[in-house]
Amino acid sequence: MKTMGGLGLFCSFALLSAPAVRAEERIDTSHIRVKKAIADTMTPEQLQAYKERLARNLASRRGGGWTAAAVNPDTPSDTCPAATYEIGTLPFGPVSDTTVGMTDDYDLPDAVGSPSCTASTPCTGAGGASPRGAIYTGTGVGPDRAYRIRTDADCDLTIGMDPTASDDLALMVYQATCSDSLSDCVCVDDTGVGGTAESVLLNAVAATDYFVLVDGYSSGAAPPGPAGPFDLTITGTGCNLVPIPGVYHTITPCRLIDTRNPDGPLGGPALVAAANRTFQATGNCGVPATATAVFLNITVASSSAGGNLRVFPTGTAVPTVSALNYSAGQTRGNNGIFGLDATGQFDIRCAQASGSAHVIVDVAGFFVE
């Protein structure tokens, strides 16, 4: 059973303690890059406000505001330990990606005596005498791209990687962690030549972390070796890809709500003064059904009067602490962690005397129980 009372109280204190930002305060946003798809939905003023919120959030995280158990969203996800969980129902993909521009993080031993992977999970690869696949000379000597997965039930997963150019890429699976040790490697397929697809069959064990690694191949050459684009797919039945509970999970910032859009569950009309409106977080923007709280960037625009927004799990009491204060006609934003009800919903209350206000909400992460 989901219990959000404690988290809601935590969020209220967090918002209450957040320092106010003076209108004249200058925030350096030169290092902030916003995806074009998001930027195109904003006016120049809204875009600048969005960049300032992101800059303040990054500065807060780097200042030690994140727990050690949380995945640091600032860490590049091409390296195995920092790779975020891929979540959702199967099949996963095809995902078009590339190892170009990535780093060479993990190099398995060369094929002296045809060594093979020895991690505990059964897996069928290709190459050499071992069904797990042999590690050929040069395998892993190149930039690599990692995907982190775990399943909610034991199931067989077919993982396929198909280069979309002429480069020779290897497909490897690690268990629990990545290293240069065969004891952490589950299986590998690197039997093809340039442009040839590779595939492994993983007998996945529920609640076990696996890292799917696409790596460049260099036949005795020094790193970085060849690198190129590819398509990755994961198929299987009887299970789903799920995140680990109890920690913060990042997602690519996604526009969840924009009441300036045509009327709809996540669109218009504008929020009405002194009224609540319910929104569905789970099932949208990559937020899973098991999420109990979300990290939101909230912007108010075109308000007809001054007021504030209250954000809280649907069905709970309206909090006494606001998520965002604003003046009439002001475009202003703030961010925070907000709880969800048992069905993944939350309410926004437009606390102003009269009229209406538009709200734009982006989601950037979530918690699961």
Q: How far apart are CA 62 and CA 72, in angstroms?
A: 9
Mean pLDDT in residue range 192-220? 85
Most confident among 58-62, 241-245, 296-300 (mean pLDDT): 296-300
Q: How confident is the model at residue 235 (pLDDT cuts 50, 70, 90)?
A: very high
Q: Give the CA count within 13 Å in the CB-facing half-sphere of 281.
A: 33
User: In this predicted structure, what is the pLDDT of residue 139?
Assistant: 57
Mean pLDDT in residue range 154-171? 92
Mean pLDDT in residue range 40-44? 71
User: In this predicted structure, what is the pLDDT of residue 193?
Assistant: 75
Residue 306 has pLDDT above 90, yes or no: yes
CA distances to 111, 133, 207, 222, 327 from 129, in Å = 12, 7, 30, 27, 72
Mean pLDDT in residue range 222-236? 80
Mean pLDDT in residue range 305-310? 96
Stronger pLDDT, 363 or 82, i.e. the higher one: 363
Q: What is the CATH number of domain 80-241?
A: 2.60.120.380
Q: What percent of the chain has pLDDT over 90?
A: 47
Stronger pLDDT, 99 or 235, i.e. the higher one: 235
Mean pLDDT in residue range 269-294? 94
Mean pLDDT, the chain, rounded, equals 79
Residue 346 has pLDDT above 60, yes or no: yes
Mean pLDDT in residue range 310-339? 94
Q: How far apart are CA 222 and CA 216, in angstroms?
A: 11
CA distances to 3, 230, 299 from 296, in Å = 20, 32, 10
Residue range 125-157, pLDDT digits in tens: 987 667 898 766 555 567 888 999 999 999 999
Residue range 7-26, pLDDT digits in tens: 443 343 333 334 444 434 45
Residue 290 has pLDDT above 60, yes or no: yes
Q: How confident is the model at residue 300 (pLDDT cuts 50, 70, 90)?
A: very high
User: In this predicted structure, what is the pLDDT of residue 141?
Assistant: 62
Mean pLDDT in residue range 234-238? 96
Q: How confident is the model at residue 71 (pLDDT cuts 50, 70, 90)?
A: very low
| Domain assignments of the chain as residue spans, ordered by start | 5-70+247-368, 80-241
The model carries a pTM of 0.59
Residue range 352-363, pLDDT digits in tens: 999 999 999 999
Q: Give the range among 50-59, 64-73, 133-142 with minimum mean pLDDT.
A: 64-73
Q: How far apart are CA 216 and CA 167, in angstroms?
A: 8
Contact 150, 85 (CB under 8 A): yes
Q: How confident is the model at residue 205 (pLDDT cuts 50, 70, 90)?
A: very high
Contact 233, 159 (CB under 8 A): yes
Q: How confident is the model at residue 283 (pLDDT cuts 50, 70, 90)?
A: very high
Residue range 94-120, pLDDT digits in tens: 999 988 878 777 777 655 456 688 999
